Amino acid sequence: MNVLLVKTSSLGDLLHTLPAVTDAQRLVRDLRVDWVVEEAYAQIPAWHPAVRRVITVALRRWRHQPLAAWRSGEWQRFQRGLRASQYDRVVDAQGLLKSALITRLARGERWGYSPRSAREPLAAIAYQRAVPVARGQHAVRRLRELFAAALGYSLAETPLDYGVGGSFPPRLGNGPLVFLHGTTWHSKHWPLPEWQRLAALAGALGWRVRLPWATLQERLRAERIAAAGPHVEVLPAASLGTLAAVINEARAVVGVDTGLAHLAAALNVPSVTLYAASDPQLTGTVGTGQRRLQAQYRCAPCLRRVCPKTSASAPSPPCYRTLSADQVWAALQDMLTED
C-alpha cells in the first residue's frame, strides 16, 4: 500500500506520529510511506524505516514571502513533486487548514479527522473520508486511531514503538545528564534559579550535565545555569541530528515541555519532564522510562503561551512554585539508581 502522510510540524507533533507509522508497518502488507514535512524537520521522517520518501515543504518560510516563493518556482516544484505519485491513501495527520490544502493537492483517497476531531474543523472539507476520533485522548493515541481507520486495521493491544532505534547506536546509558531548558512558550519556562539549583545538586554527587540551546536567549540561560560549576557544559550550536545523538548518549534527561523532551521519549532515554501550562494527559511524553511532573496550581494547566500572572518583578509563572529543584532531583535520583 502506498501512503502519503501529511504532517508538517512541529518537532513534538512529528514525533507523536511515529508510533502510528510503526503500527502501520507491522499491520499493513507492503507498506510504503511518503511524508510531507517542513524543511527544518526533514530528518525526523527519515529516521523511520517505513518512510520511503521525504517531501519537504516550506510553508513557514513562504508565508512571509509568498511572491518570492512563486517567482522562484519553489511552490510549483513542490506541487509537481507532491503529485508525482498516485497513492492508495493520503492521510492528513495534522487537521489544520494548511495541511488540508496540501492533502487536497495530492493524488489519492483523502483521509483526515472529522470536523469535531480536527484542530481546525474546516480542514475536514478537504477529505473524502473523515474519521471521528475522540478528543481528550493523548495525541499519540489519536494519531494511532486515525491511521488504523484510514489503513484498515485494528490496534488491539499493539505495543507503542516509535520505530527510530535503528537510526541510532545502541544506548549504553552511561553518559552525562542532559537538561532541556529551552521552549518556545514563555509559560513553560521553569525558573532559572531552579535550574541552577538542580545543576548544583547534580554536581554535588559527581554528575556531569550538558546544556543544549537553539536561540541566543537559550544560550544566555544555559551560560547562567553553567555557573553552577565546571561539571556543567554548554554545548555548541548543533543540528537536530547532533542533538539526537547527544540525548541518546545521556544517562537521563530533565526537560520542560519541549520537542526535544519528546525526542528523548522516542529514544527511550529515562526522563523527568515538567508540566505547568500544558497538559501531560494530552501531549505529555510517552514511552519507556518517562516520569511526568505536573504543577499543582488552581489554574494549571491553563494552555496559555503567556502567563497573565507574571510581571517584571515576578517573571516566572506562579504554578512553578509547586515544582522545586529538590522535587525534580528526587524523581531523577529514582531513575539514576535503577539498574
**pLDDT by residue (tens digit) across 59-91?**
989 988 888 889 999 999 999 999 999 999 999
For the chain, how long is the longest CA-to-CA vector?
Answer: 60
Round to whole Å and give the CA distance between 317 and 315.
7
pLDDT of residue 69: 87
- On the question of pLDDT at 339 being above 70, the answer is no
Contact 104, 123 (CB under 8 A): no
**What mean pLDDT is reported for the chain?**
95
* pTM score of the predicted model: 0.95
CA distances from 164 to 45, 61, 180, 239, 246 (A): 9, 28, 21, 17, 15
CA distances from 264 to 159, 208, 223, 228, 231 (A): 18, 18, 22, 24, 22
Question: Which range (178-182, 234-238, 316-320) has the least confidence?
Answer: 316-320
Kindly state the DSSP code that residue 4 receives in the 8-state scheme. E
pLDDT single digits (tens) 167-206 = 999 988 899 999 999 999 999 999 999 999 999 999 999 9
Round to whole Å and give the CA distance between 107 and 6.
12
- On the question of pLDDT at 223 being above 90, the answer is yes
Round to whole Å and give the CA distance between 80 and 78.
5
Residue 142 region by backbone torsions, left for phi larger than 0, else alpha for psi between -120 and 50, else beta: alpha
- On the question of pLDDT at 135 being above 60, the answer is yes
* Phi, psi dihedral angles at 109 (to 5 degrees): -70, 125
Compute how many other C-beta atoms are within 10 angstroms of the C-beta atom of residue 205. 10
Peptide bond into 19 cis (omega under 30): no
Contacts for 337 with CB less than 8 Å, ≥ 6 apart = none
Query: Which of the four pLDDT bands, split at 50, 70 and 90, describes residue 257?
Result: very high
* Phi, psi dihedral angles at 214 (to 5 degrees): -125, -25
Q: Which neighbouring-strand residues pair with 287?
A: none
Round to whole Å and give the CA distance between 32 and 45.
13
Query: Which of the four pLDDT bands, split at 50, 70 and 90, describes residue 156?
Result: confident
H or E stretch covering 35: strand 32-38
Go through the domains of the chain in sequence order and give each one's CATH number: 2-165 (3.40.50.2000), 169-336 (3.40.50.2000)
Round to whole Å and give the CA distance between 104 and 109.
10
With 0-12 / 13-18 / 19 or more C-beta atoms within 10 angstroms meaning exposed / middle / buried, residue 129 is middle
- On the question of pLDDT at 158 being above 90, the answer is no
pLDDT of residue 337: 85
